[in-house]
Amino acid sequence: MANSNAVRAGARLDRPDQHIYKIMDAKASKDAPFVLMANTGWAGKFNRAQRGAFNTDESIPAFLVNTLLTAAVFGPVVICITLLAVYGRVTFALKYTEASDKRGAGFLPALIGEQWTAGLVFFTAIKAIAGPAMPF
């Protein structure tokens, strides 16, 4: 959110508006899609910052629950995984604000960290169900 607020002034977008749309072709027929989300200049930068924030908002509830469950079993080891995911999310949002083709640099570490915690929760559940049948 702080990232999108940082570019809000340059985009000249007041609150509560969350996106900027632009008419791309004033002569389009009535059935043609002619209003698109702006993707250039300050307006595009703001829209990408908002999408980066929204993407993080969508993934954070499951990640937090998985982190708490994993930390209860694996303890301090989870800190490293969490730092990887946080680094990825911050990098994703900042790079996505710059340009949409740069977002992958942060998305991959975020995805690895988030899915790693989900995998540890799954492993713990299987171990709890199997009990002594699983030797490790």
d(CA 112, CA 83): 11
Assign domain 2-133 to its CATH architecture. Answer: Up-down Bundle (1.20)
What are the boundaries of each domain within the chain? 2-133
Model confidence band, residue 25 (pLDDT cutoffs 50, 70, 90): low
Q: Please provide the average confidence, as pLDDT, over all residues in the chain.
A: 84
Which two three-digit tokens encode residue 79?
Answer: 């800190």
Average pLDDT on 112-124 reads 94
Residues 6+ apart with CB under 8 A from 74: 120
Task: Return the percent helix, strand and coil in the chain, to nearest 5.
Answer: 75, 5, 25
The pLDDT assigned to 132 comes to: 78
pLDDT tens profile 59-92:
999 999 999 999 988 999 899 999 999 999 999 9
d(CA 90, CA 127): 33
Return the biggest CA–CA distance within the chain: 71
Average pLDDT on 34-61 reads 86
